[in-house]
Structure 1
Amino acid sequence: MSSAYSFNNRSISPRYQLITLLLVVIVSGMSQGLLLPLLSILLERHGVSSDVNGMNAAALYIGIFCTMFFVEKPVVRFGYKKVIIIGLLLVTGCTLLFSISESLVLWFVLRLLVGVGDSSLHFATQQWILSSSPADRRGRVFSLYGMAYGVGFSVGPLGINLLNLGDRVPFLASGALYAGILLLVLRLQSERPEQLDPQGVKENRFIRSYKLAWFALIPPLLYGVMEASMNSTFPLYGLGIALSQQWISILLVTFGVGSIVLQLPLGIWSDRIGRKKVLMICGFIGSVLFLLIPVVNEHKLLMLFLFAVAGGIVGSFYSLGMSYAADIVPKAILPATGVIASVHYSIGSVLGPVIGGYGIRFVSIHSLFYFLGAVFVVFAITGFGFKRVEKEEVGT
């Protein structure tokens, strides 16, 4: 492992640095994977309606979305390490504060700040890993990055079961874990991203990214919608069809595990037959699987199977989309493309819980899966109209 990744830090081994950064990614995934269903269940207990519940859950992703407009400058000015530390401190403090009050307003603000902290450490870690790894192994590293986030997001919902020990226990346990990861990060030496010479007008890079890779930039949007709605709205759906808290957490974990297991195989498959084909095939299959879930909702084992396969099929959409975008756009505008992808993910994450909550209240208890089935099949059909333009390595 140490020979494969040429990190610049000489006093800390490459293995330690890579593992530490991947642990930060796991923490970021756990923060979202636990807080979304945990807070939804607690609000449901206090009689909060599904639409208000969904709007409150969207605060996390509003924070993530807003952070993308300013996080790049602190990373460049202060370095990766300091931004990660600030993000961890923010997430840790807010997680502990959830247990002191049940105020909807306070929880909205805390979720907003958790989104800022998560987004900051997520962005800084991603950039640090990408900039510190050699180009010929960057794809493998990105797979490890995606798998690490998937592990955290899958393990996170297990914290719901700590509610049996008291409503505060999941928050206290999470805070302790974040503090432990912070101690590992403190050992790292700070590095800063390389400065790129500005070429042309900044807006043109974003416009060109859309022109060249609009289809590849849709998967981050869909991934955000799917991830947020599943983890914030599905618990409400589960309670509505009389599933226990344990089964809700098991199904969510199964969904995440499927994503982890198929992350690398789908990446390898996309290298062989093309990422566009894999994305379209996964879109069609994912749509069918989501539409089947309401049909089998009285059969827990069948639901478990569908969740595992659906999670595996669509759980790699973000990494596959970013990989496809990197295949298409010139290197000079790849950072701008990454910002667009992050913004798309945030928009989808904000829309997911809101649409899911309103759908359950005003349309149908099964509307979440009807909606997901519809958007994924529309995406797959849209792929037939996308024609890739040959990459030109020029600055814009």
Structure 2
Amino acid sequence: MSRHLLAMALAPLLGLFILGIGNGFLATVITLRLDAAGESAVVIGWVSSAYFIGLALGAMLNDRLLLRIGHIRAYGSFASLVAVTVLLQGLVAEPWAWFTLRLIGGWATVGVYLVIESWLLASGDAKVRGRLLALYMISLYAAGVLGQLLLGVTEAMGGAASFMVIGMLASLSVLPMAMIPRVSPLIEKAEPLSPLRLITLTPTGVMGSFGSGVMVAAVYSLLPLYLQRTGLAVSQIGQLMAVVVLGAMLLQYPVGRWSDRHDRQLVLILIGAFCTLISAAVLWLPMNAWLLAGLLFLLGGGVFSLYPVAVGHAADRAPAGALVRMSQGLLLINAIGSALSPPLVSPVMSLLGDAGLFWAFGAMGLFLLAFFGWRRSVRPAPVPVAPFSPSTPMSAAGAELAVTDEWLQGAIEHEHVEDLSGVVPEVAVAEPLVGPPPPNEAHIAYYEDGSTSVAVSPDDESCPRDSR
């Protein structure tokens, strides 16, 4: 990777890392505070769900604001809004207020991801996207581990200290983006495939993405509640949550490489069985601190590996022209699963006790096992056509980071597998902010002040060369 490319990618990745430290333990703080205030698991579930609803809404709407005001201004706006919502949570401790603030915070957080991911997309060509994706994931997971380890330190300060630290980190994350040269990359727009079309194209990919959203959201929002009610100290809860994220980071790649060498549907079946067995072990084995940490490490690896393997399976079936739209559609399905997870799982915890969380994990793993097994009997999976790319659910723009040259080549070679006559290949579209669209030969650049500049081919004199 060239120095120029590294310099272009450094600012957004550093901003992501700083913001991710605070965002990594914010959900845990909220869950523990609501439980300490005597709120029920159902109330905690709904407040947690608000964040994921905001993520889904922001993924569909925030690109319009980004196109209008530019990357640096958009990042500053979204990060500042994250900081404000977090600080307000330290001042107002009412569940209804936290629901609203978490909804806004989720909308703003996915806006931050959208800015960073589209910046990385514009920083280099497809040949380096795999390395950019790896750097993105390292930053995201490392920040998550560090954030969980800071949980005990900030909670020991008492009061609103945790919210103050998270708000300060969100504000500080603006500095790397604000101090770089005024460069505004273009963002490509592509609408995701509809859920119905996705179900027709890849039922296994849709169900894997949905199940991953349900389980990952439950890990972040309700696992801290389970751990606190078992009598663990806040610092111990943070350490165990860090172990979960560490398991996700370390086990995802080996599982993915395994899926390159075997039937991905079989790998998905085994992941479902694995999550079921781990959940049963937590429920039935006599627990001690080390055994619980080991089981949570394995659970994180299984739960977080489900999404990238499901996306890889879907990519094995999709033609080249539908890869980006398919990835964006699966992200939407994943967000829907995340939004529904806390309201669905928290009543199980109220009905069956705190252990109901692992009953829910086991039930979801068993359901996925049965569904994937049924799909494999109906239609065996194709041979993997591209190397596994470890990934985590991102914004709609970030879906393009995972679409590597190997994916495209594999899809081109296997386009006969699925009939997608209703799907057209993605075309990079840059819409002007005002006025009529330029001729076909025009290329538009967006500036930070919201203006545009149009470069026209020499044989076309009908379009103004600069609209500033």
User: Under a length normalisation based on structure 1, what TM-score does the superposition of the two structures give?
Assistant: 0.86
Which residue of structure 2 aligns with residue 252 of structure 1?
241
Which residue of structure 2 aligns with residue 304 of structure 1?
293
Which residue of structure 1 aligns with residue 65 of structure 2?
74
> Matched residues in 2 for 1:27 and 1:214: separation?
37
Percent identity over the alignment?
24
> Matched residues in 2 for 1:257 and 1:242: separation?
23
- My pick for the range that moved more, 151-160 or 179-188, is 151-160
The answer to whether the aligner puts 1:88 opposite 2:79 as a matched pair is: yes
- Deviation of 1:346 (Å): 1.8
> Matched residues in 1 for 2:316 and 2:77: separation?
33
Which residue of structure 2 aligns with residue 123 of structure 1?
114
- Deviation of 1:319 (Å): 2.9
The answer to whether the aligner puts 1:174 opposite 2:166 as a matched pair is: yes
1:223-281 alpha-carbon deviations (Å, 9 max, x no partner): 22222212221222122222222222111110000111123333333333354343332
1:327-355 alpha-carbon deviations (Å, 9 max, x no partner): 33233333332332222222222222222
- Deviation of 1:205 (Å): 6.3
Q: 1:212 aligns with which of 174, 177, 201?
A: 201
> Matched residues in 2 for 1:52 and 1:204: separation?
33
Which residue of structure 2 aligns with residue 65 of structure 1?
56
- Deviation of 1:175 (Å): 2.0
- My pick for the range that moved more, 207-216 or 223-232, is 207-216
> Matched residues in 2 for 1:217 and 1:28: separation?
30
- Deviation of 1:316 (Å): 2.6
1:350-387 alpha-carbon deviations (Å, 9 max, x no partner): 22222232111122321111111221232233223154
Q: 1:381 aligns with which of 360, 370, 390?
A: 370
> Matched residues in 2 for 1:59 and 1:115: separation?
8
| Structure 2: gaps spanning 5 or more residues | 383-413, 425-468
Q: Counterpart of 2:103 in 1: which secondary structure?
A: helix
Do the aligned residues in 2 keep the contact of 1:77 with 1:192 (CA within 8 Å)?
Answer: no
Which residue of structure 1 aligns with residue 415 of structure 2?
391
Q: Counterpart of 1:376 in 2: which secondary structure?
A: helix
Which residue of structure 1 aligns with residue 177 of structure 2?
185
Do the aligned residues in 1 keep the contact of 2:195 with 2:333 (CA within 8 Å)?
Answer: no
Decide whether aligned partners of structure 1 residues 158 and 135 sit closer, same or farther in structure 2, where only a CA change above 3 A counts: same
Letter of the aligned partner of 1:185 in structure 2?
Answer: M
Do the aligned residues in 1 keep the contact of 2:52 with 2:106 (CA within 8 Å)?
Answer: yes
Q: Counterpart of 2:129 in 1: which secondary structure?
A: helix
Which residue of structure 1 aligns with residue 407 of structure 2?
none
Q: Counterpart of 1:18 in 2: which secondary structure?
A: helix
Do the aligned residues in 1 keep the contact of 2:122 with 2:186 (CA within 8 Å)?
Answer: no
- Deviation of 1:295 (Å): 2.2
Which residue of structure 2 aligns with residue 138 of structure 1?
129
Across the aligned residues of Structure 1 and Structure 2, the Cα RMSD in angstroms comes to: 2.7
Q: Counterpart of 2:61 in 1: which secondary structure?
A: coil
Which residue of structure 2 aligns with residue 2 of structure 1?
2
Letter of the aligned partner of 2:102 in structure 1?
Answer: R
The answer to whether the aligner puts 1:317 opposite 2:306 as a matched pair is: yes
Which residue of structure 2 aligns with residue 18 of structure 1?
9
Q: For 1:362-377, what aligned pairs fall within 5 Å after superposition? A: 362-377=351-366
> Matched residues in 1 for 2:317 and 2:73: separation?
33
Letter of the aligned partner of 2:355 in structure 1?
Answer: H
> Matched residues in 2 for 1:216 and 1:28: separation?
30
Which residue of structure 1 aligns with residue 439 of structure 2?
none
Letter of the aligned partner of 1:71 in structure 2?
Answer: N
Letter of the aligned partner of 2:13 in structure 1?
Answer: L
Which residue of structure 2 aligns with residue 230 of structure 1?
219
Report how many aligned residue pairs link the two structures.
382
> Matched residues in 2 for 1:139 and 1:69: separation?
25
> Matched residues in 1 for 2:286 and 2:242: separation?
17
Which residue of structure 1 aligns with residue 327 of structure 2?
338
Which residue of structure 2 aligns with residue 10 of structure 1?
none
Which residue of structure 1 aligns with residue 148 of structure 2?
157
Which residue of structure 2 aligns with residue 97 of structure 1?
88
> Matched residues in 2 for 1:47 and 1:151: separation?
32
- Deviation of 1:195 (Å): 5.7
> Matched residues in 2 for 1:151 and 1:320: separation?
21
1:41-90 alpha-carbon deviations (Å, 9 max, x no partner): 11222211221121112111111122223123334444444433322121
The answer to whether the aligner puts 1:46 opposite 2:37 as a matched pair is: yes
Q: Counterpart of 2:57 in 1: which secondary structure?
A: helix
Which residue of structure 2 aligns with residue 35 of structure 1?
26
Decide whether aligned partners of structure 1 residues 207 and 352 sit closer, same or farther in structure 2, where only a CA change above 3 A counts: closer
Decide whether aligned partners of structure 1 residues 256 and 320 sit closer, same or farther in structure 2, where only a CA change above 3 A counts: same
Do the aligned residues in 2 keep the contact of 1:147 with 1:263 (CA within 8 Å)?
Answer: no
User: Under a length normalisation based on structure 2, what TM-score does the superposition of the two structures give?
Assistant: 0.74
Do the aligned residues in 2 keep the contact of 1:205 with 1:336 (CA within 8 Å)?
Answer: no
1:192-224 alpha-carbon deviations (Å, 9 max, x no partner): 12467xxxxx78766443322231233332222
> Matched residues in 1 for 2:188 and 2:237: separation?
44
> Matched residues in 2 for 1:176 and 1:203: separation?
35
1:85-112 alpha-carbon deviations (Å, 9 max, x no partner): 3221211221222212212222121111
Decide whether aligned partners of structure 1 residues 264 and 82 sit closer, same or farther in structure 2, where only a CA change above 3 A counts: farther
Decide whether aligned partners of structure 1 residues 88 and 274 sit closer, same or farther in structure 2, where only a CA change above 3 A counts: farther
Letter of the aligned partner of 2:185 in structure 1?
Answer: E
Letter of the aligned partner of 2:119 in structure 1?
Answer: W
> Matched residues in 1 for 2:266 and 2:124: separation?
28
Do the aligned residues in 1 keep the contact of 2:18 with 2:172 (CA within 8 Å)?
Answer: no
